[in-house]
Amino acid sequence: MKSTKKSNVHIILIERGEKIVEQLLAYCKKNKISAGFFCGIGAVDQAELAHYIVDNKKYSSKHFKEPLEICSLTGNVSIMDNEPYIHCHATLGKENFSVVGGHLKEAVVHAVCEIYLCEVSRKIERKHQERIGLNVWEFK
């Protein structure tokens, strides 16, 4: 992983073989980022996508193991239990150009993953909400 920044914009390159969510999380911890959003593109060759149903309060998930273009990587950073928390969704394009997508649990970079993360210098907290079974933003 390599990075550079200009004021509140972090430009992050995640490299072949590295895990996207793990690297983003480590970056946010190291740089004490407590809120912001990011957009990215690139390619992965392993990914775990998840889909949530409130009625079951359960994620179902599926592993993909093939070269996939990251058509879109969209997400945000918040704070849960005093630590940065990454929430990230993605659309992934197959060799036949069909697309799969969902909540991105983790993915391993195939070629590169290029991310622009716009930091917001305030704290957005997330707390578990029993009603829907997820960790939800709580604004103060």
Q: Which residues bind its own copies (CB under 8 A)?
A: 2-4, 6, 9, 11, 13, 16, 35, 37, 39-41, 43, 49, 51-54, 60, 62, 67, 69-76, 87-91, 93-95, 97-103, 110-112, 114, 116, 118, 120-122, 124, 131-132, 134, 136-137, 139
Smallest distance from its own copies to CB 54, Å? 5
Angstrom CA distances, 89 to 12, 30, 31, 101, stand at 17, 23, 22, 7
Strand partners, 129: 134
How far is 126 from 123, CA to CA, in rounded Å? 10
Closest separation between CB of residue 29 and its own copies, Å? 20
- Tell me the two tokens of residue 4: 């550079």
CB 25 → its own copies: shortest distance, Å?
17
Distance CA 26, CA 118 (A): 16
> 48 near 102, Cβ under 8 Å?
no
The residue written with tokens 């969704």 in the block is 89
Could you tell me the smallest distance in angstroms from the CB atom of residue 64 to its own copies?
A: 8
